[in-house]
Amino acid sequence: MSRDSAHRPSRVGPATTPGHRAGPLDIDALLDDPATGIIVCCGSGGVGKTTTSAALALRAAERGRKVVVLTIDPARRLAQSMGIEALDNTPRPVTGVEGGGHLDAMMLDMKRTFDEVVLSQASPEKAKQILANPFYIALSSSFAGTQEYMAMEKLGQIHRDAQAAGTYDLIVVDTPPSRSALDFLDAPERLSSFLDGRFVRMLLMPAKGPAKLMTAGIGLITNALTKILGAQFLKDLQTFVTALDTVFGGFRQRAQQTYALLKADGTAFLVVAAPEADALREAEYFVERLSEDDMPLAGLVVNRASPEPGGDLSAEEAMTAAERLRRTGDGALTAGLLRLHADRVRMVERERTLRDRFATAHPQVATAVVPALASDVHDLDGLRRVGDLLARRH
């Protein structure tokens, strides 16, 4: 497939041809293109990122690709049906995949990923010290952005392994349910600035350099801190920061590599959103943020859209008919059904207006619309159905 076919992710910018609209997203072309190596599903919490990631991964596998999906917080039953309810941080084969491809799935264990990095970077003795440090324990399980950071780290790891061993040709990545969208783009930067911050530098100094380098000022501050925080606390903190500095040199560099990987041509971002005003506004923010970082955007997925009601009765016609029935006192049930129909038609129209508004603001973003299914998506059949709907172009 040619590199410049219509589905290729675009670097979204203002410099598009006026009047050009990207239209429907061609999911199958994206999944089938051997040049697509990474798909990242992002969006605010609860919109269907995990479901979309799993559905895309399954579809790609069933169309013949060697796929791994990295999920963050799959709903319990979905995880069970994919064989990943155990958090062991290793991709496991999903059983029941049809066709010639292959699907592995894993659920990200943030703390474990962190531990793995420490174990791979520090000497066994030093690693043991770090893993037992109270600050490390707190940071690895709760530092703002750690989950985002670890998702990046795991993506980098899997990508390196896949390249070395040829295990996968497509990695589908789910992103954490962060309130501040796209935190994972900021995470390496945030971590770096934390480590390069003055407070951390200051703590590093006494441990690192000869004592005479420690200025009287810093000595005073350290003494004050010792009084306030207690000697053990400060000692733990120093050990921790020193250790991090050793470990994180490589960490930072890898984060930068992963960031570059996200920007590369083989990557495609999909922004997932609910068909609501707030959600689509947030999706616009995502699209703009991706564009600022020059990340390749493949399109927008509007998930859980209201299903189109059957028939061609308009909302007005249905309401007029319902009103007539109400006046004659006949057919209360029919009148109720007509009103329900009118509500559904209006809802579908409202959602279409919202999508049109988005498309006008971002004409270059191709869109897929996935209607809400009658029930939650918790097994491979459900994922297949979502996959079919994603690939349906209309």
Ligand X SMILES: Nc1ncnc2c1ncn2[C@@H]1O[C@H](COP(=O)(O)OP(=O)(O)O)[C@@H](O)[C@H]1O
Residues at the site binding ligand X, with contacts judged by CB under 6 A? 45-51, 75, 177, 303-304, 370, 372-373, 376-377, 386
Member of 28, 73, 115, 116 binding Mg ion (CB under 5 A): 73
Instruction: Report the nearest approach of ligand X to the CB of residue 373 (Å).
Output: 4
Nearest distance from residue 301's CB to ligand X, in Å?
A: 10
CA-wise closest residue to 152 among 85, 60, 70: 70
The answer to whether residues 192 and 252 touch, using CB atoms and an 8 Å cutoff, is yes
CB atoms within 10 A of CB 223: 11
Q: Which stretch binds Mg ion (CB under 5 A): 53-61, 66-74, 221-229, 350-358?
A: 66-74
Least Å distance, CB 27 to ligand X, is 14
How far is residue 295's CA from residue 261's CA, in Å, rounded to a whole number? 10
Binding mask 21-60 for Mg ion (x = CB under 5 A): ----------------------------xx----------
Q: Which does 373 bind (CB under 5 to 8 A by kind): ligand X, Mg ion, none?
A: ligand X
Residues 135-154 that bind Mg ion (CB under 5 A): none
Distance CA 140, CA 182 (A): 20
Distances (CA, A) of 139 to 110, 240, 251: 11, 10, 15
Burial class (CB in 10 A: 0-12, 13-18, 19+), 108: buried
Q: Which residues pair with 300 in a beta bridge?
A: 271, 367
Question: Angle at the Cα of 187 (from 185 to 192), degrees rounded to 5?
Answer: 125
267 binds Mg ion (CB under 5 A): no
Binding mask 327-366 for Mg ion (x = CB under 5 A): ----------------------------------------
**Chosen from Mg ion, ligand X, none, partner binding at 376 (C-beta under 5 to 8 Å by type):** ligand X
**Order of strands, sheet of 102-107, starting from the edge strand that comes earlier in the sequence:** 92-93, 102-107, 66-71, 170-174, 38-42, 267-273, 297-305, 367-371
Nearer to Mg ion, 50 or 133 (CB): 50
Using CB under 5 A, list all residues that contact Mg ion: 49-50, 73
